[in-house]
């Protein structure tokens, strides 16, 4: 049975961010993920996790100026120093929370030429080496161009090639089933092929990004396949509930009682 992690950025929006930890624990989640903890101190985030008996599955490194439209720094020319500083910040939060994996966002980049690829690879190598000293994995996630036009990492094979070329034991793939289906389809075969490099999985319905099992894919079949493939990591519930978060959790009971 996959270990589900509530995504506190998308779920439990009925309450303020810091209250979502208790809300998730109350309905039985034992793990959570979120995009960015950086509006709060590392100590406060660590406390909320411990108070509620929650394991942090994942969060993202600082993405640059999100409000201004930035979506990560790793592939951006001229931002290397800022990227390195963002690694330090993320590792401070990692030490305080005990998270074992951090998502590095590539950024929006109009070019995917050799220079941009080299910058991206240098950034990832730096992040892997710094995080590796703390036993932390770095994950990279292809994101579909409909949701994030211009995002540099928009292809699963490019992500797999990057991971293979850098050959760092702590560099892995964040396989978001929602993005995979929109970018390429062929989800089941991709899970089987890419399982050796998968470090984190996320799920939502396609195309609306709501509760699993409400869209075009057989999500229960995909979740069962993760077990068959021996996946022992977390499955982040990165979806926008159609209505009330708790009222929408019936899909999880249905899956568990199969």
Ligand X SMILES: O=C(O)C(=O)[C@@H](O)CO
Q: Which of 106, 144, 181, 202 binds Mg ion (CB under 5 A)?
A: 202
Residue nearest to ligand X (CB): 176
Residue nearest to Mg ion (CB): 176
Tokens read off for 71: 């979506």
Q: Shortest CA distance to 145 belongs to which of 169, 116, 109, 120?
A: 109
Round to whole Å and give the CA distance between 224 and 240: 22
| CB 152, min distance to ligand X, A | 13
Residue 238 in the binding site for ligand X (CB under 6 A): yes
Catalytic residue among 14, 141, 216, 225: 141
Q: Which of 35, 108, 182, 197 binds ligand X (CB under 6 A)?
A: 35
Q: Which is nearer to ligand X, 75 or 143 (CB)?
A: 143
For 90, 119, 141, 157, 223, the CA distances from 83, given in Å and listed in that order, are 11, 11, 17, 24, 34
Tokens read off for 246: 């708790």
Residue 137 in the binding site for ligand X (CB under 6 A): no
| CB 139, min distance to ligand X, A | 9
Q: Which residues are CB-neighbours of 189 under 8 A, at least 6 positions away? A: none
Compute CA 102 distance to the chain's CA centroid, rounded to the nearest angstrom: 8
User: What is the footprint of Mg ion within residues 168-197 (CB under 5 A)?
Assistant: 176
Q: Which is nearer to Mg ion, 176 or 219 (CB)?
A: 176
Residues 112, 68: contact at Cβ < 8 Å? Answer: no
For the question of residue 51 being annotated catalytic, the response is: no
| CB 238, min distance to Mg ion, A | 5
Residue 141 in the binding site for ligand X (CB under 6 A): yes
Tokens read off for 143: 């994101």
Residue 103 in the binding site for ligand X (CB under 6 A): yes
Cis peptide before 119 (omega within 30 of 0): no
Binding mask 182-221 for ligand X (x = CB under 6 A): --------------------x-------------------
Round to whole Å and give the CA distance between 77 and 116: 7
Helix (H), strand (E) counts: the chain: 9, 8
The separation between the first and the last C-alpha atoms of the chain, rounded to the nearest angstrom, is: 11
For the question of residue 141 being annotated catalytic, the response is: yes
Residue 18 in the binding site for ligand X (CB under 6 A): no
What residues are labeled active site? 141, 238
Binding positions for ligand X, rule: CB under 6 A: 35, 60, 103, 141, 143, 176, 179, 202, 238
Binding positions for Mg ion, rule: CB under 5 A: 176, 202, 238
């Amino acid at each position: 049975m996959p270990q589900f992690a509530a995504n506190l950025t998308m779920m439990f929006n009925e309450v303020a961010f810091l209250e979502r930890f208790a809300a998730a624990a109350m309905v039985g989640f034992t793990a959570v993920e979120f995009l960015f903890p950086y509006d709060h101190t590392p100590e406060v985030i660590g406390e909320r996790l411990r108070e509620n008996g929650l394991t942090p599955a994942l969060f993202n490194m600082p993405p640059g100026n999100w409000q201004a439209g930035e979506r990560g720094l790793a592939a951006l020319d001229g931002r290397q120093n800022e990227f390195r500083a963002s690694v330090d910040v993320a590792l401070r939060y990692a030490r305080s929370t005990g998270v074992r994996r951090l998502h590095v966002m590539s950024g929006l980049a109009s070019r995917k030429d050799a220079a941009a690829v080299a910058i991206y690879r240098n950034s990832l190598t730096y992040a892997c080496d710094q995080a590796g000293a703390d036993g932390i994995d770095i994950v990279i996630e292809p994101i579909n161009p409909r949701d994030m036009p211009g995002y540099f990492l928009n292809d699963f094979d490019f992500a797999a090639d990057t991971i293979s070329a850098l050959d760092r034991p702590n560099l892995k793939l964040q396989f978001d089933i929602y993005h995979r289906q929109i970018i390429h389809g062929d989800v089941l075969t991709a899970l089987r092929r890419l399982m050796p490099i998968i470090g984190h999985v996320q799920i939502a319905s396609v195309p609306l990004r709501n509760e699993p099992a409400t869209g075009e894919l057989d999500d229960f079949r995909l979740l069962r396949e993760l077990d068959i493939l021996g996946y022992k990591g977390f499955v982040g519930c990165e979806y926008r509930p159609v209505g009330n978060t708790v009222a929408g959790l019936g899909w999880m009971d249905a899956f568990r009682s199969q």
